[in-house]
Structure 1
Amino acid sequence: MTPAVKALERDGTEFALLSYEHDPREPAYGEEAARALGLDPRTVFKTLVVCLDETRLAVGIVPVSGQLDLKALAKAAGTRRARLAGAAEAERATGYVLGGISPLGQKKRLPTFLDASAERLERMHVSGGRRGLEIALAPADLIRLCPARLAPLLRG
């Protein structure tokens, strides 16, 4: 049981767990999850840890079918710059390993931004806190639990 699953159970949130056999040679974790589970990649979201203005961390959540626009995230956060955090930095802050970082149940509560495309979905999928585990839930529940702010975060 991961901290993400425990957080959902503690809250009484309705969710579903989906699992698949992770291929350790696969570098694109989110795309692998969509393929392995037969999900529309626009409903599977990746959780990316970013560094804002070189000093503070935040989370950007975007569909695996697109790329995070760091300038858009910086704007949503009210700062000038954003860059992807290093793997060790992201793992240390969240308590999860790369490829299994969930927006839920993180070690430190980081400011969280969710791509606005999630608002149109009935259910979305995020990492369950380990590679090979996805959580299906309503976007409104994710927004409430993180708490997350909606913003257009996709490049292009």
Structure 2
Amino acid sequence: MAKQVAKTNAVRLIEQQKIPYELLSYQVEEGQPVDGISASEKIGYSYEYVYKTLVTTVGKSQYYVFVVPVAKELDLKKAAKVVGQKKIEMIAVKELLGVTGYVRGGCSPIGMKKLFPTYIDESAETLDFMIFSAGKVGMSLKLAPHDLVKACKGNFADIVS
């Protein structure tokens, strides 16, 4: 009998919105960090389709979410400009769980504790599908980029260097 996978907030929200998706999973060694490139290899998809979720802050109460290709870096200057700020910075890892409800390596742009302004790199806009964390290390969601925009009320933007 197949092992039942516990649903994350991200999966529940996708299902509530009746958005078609595929749930992908991969093995993670206890205590071993997982990066997006190795995750793409484990799920059998080219890293061009795999995106990471990054959370930034302005001060202590204003947060922005950015979804960028795993092989690229978020350009903080471009990101600040997109959100109308002079400067933004990455949230401290120790604050991630409290702010989003997710841990490092398992942060999804869908289903955070609050709906923060979310921007997906424009490179995803032309893809048939994209893959990103389902809200748990070792679980990923595969869905159409425009469906992600719908699910997180996001926008496409030029945000990588």
What is the TM-score with the length of structure 1 in the denominator? 0.94
2: CA distance, partners of 1:137 / 1:102: 13
State which of 76, 84, 94 in structure 1 corresponds to 2:90: 84
Aligned ranges 1:54-73 → 2 under 5 Å:
55-73=61-79
Question: Structure 1 residue runs of 4+, over 4 Å off?
Answer: none
Report what 1:153 is aligned to: 159
* Letter paired with 1:72: K
Query: Looking at CA atoms only, which structure, 1 or 2, has the larger radius of gyration?
Result: 2
Instruction: Tell me the alpha carbon deviations over residues 86-137 of structure 1, each in whole angstroms, 9 at most, x when there is no partner.
Output: 1122221111111100011111111101100000100000101100001000
Report what 2:3 is aligned to: none
Root-mean-square deviation (CA, aligned residues, Å) is 1.3
Instruction: Tell me the alpha carbon deviations over residues 4-51 of structure 1, each in whole angstroms, 9 at most, x when there is no partner.
Output: 000011111000000000134543432221111121111100000101
* Letter paired with 1:107: K
* Letter paired with 2:57: C
* Letter paired with 2:144: A
Report what 1:45 is aligned to: 51
Helix, strand or coil: the match of 2:114? Answer: coil
1: CA distance, partners of 2:38 / 2:62: 30
Deviation larger for 84-93 or 22-31: 22-31
State which of 127, 132, 138 in structure 2 corresponds to 1:132: 138
1:113 is the counterpart of 2:119: yes
Q: CA contact under 8 A between 1:54 and 1:82: conserved in structure 2? A: no
Report what 2:4 is aligned to: none
State which of 10, 27, 30 in structure 1 corresponds to 2:33: 27
Aligned residues between the structures: 155
What is the TM-score with the length of structure 2 in the denominator? 0.91
2: CA distance, partners of 1:8 / 1:120: 21
State which of 139, 142, 145 in structure 1 corresponds to 2:148: 142
Deviation larger for 40-49 or 20-29: 20-29
Report what 1:95 is aligned to: 101
- Offset of residue 145 of structure 1: 1.1
Instruction: Tell me the alpha carbon deviations over residues 46-87 of structure 1, each in whole angstroms, 9 at most, x when there is no partner.
Output: 000101356411101000011111111101001110111011
Helix, strand or coil: the match of 1:35? Answer: helix
Stretches of structure 1 lacking an aligned partner (at least 5 in a row) = none
Q: CA contact under 8 A between 1:53 and 1:81: conserved in structure 2? A: no
2: CA distance, partners of 1:107 / 1:75: 25
Stretches of structure 2 lacking an aligned partner (at least 5 in a row) = 1-6
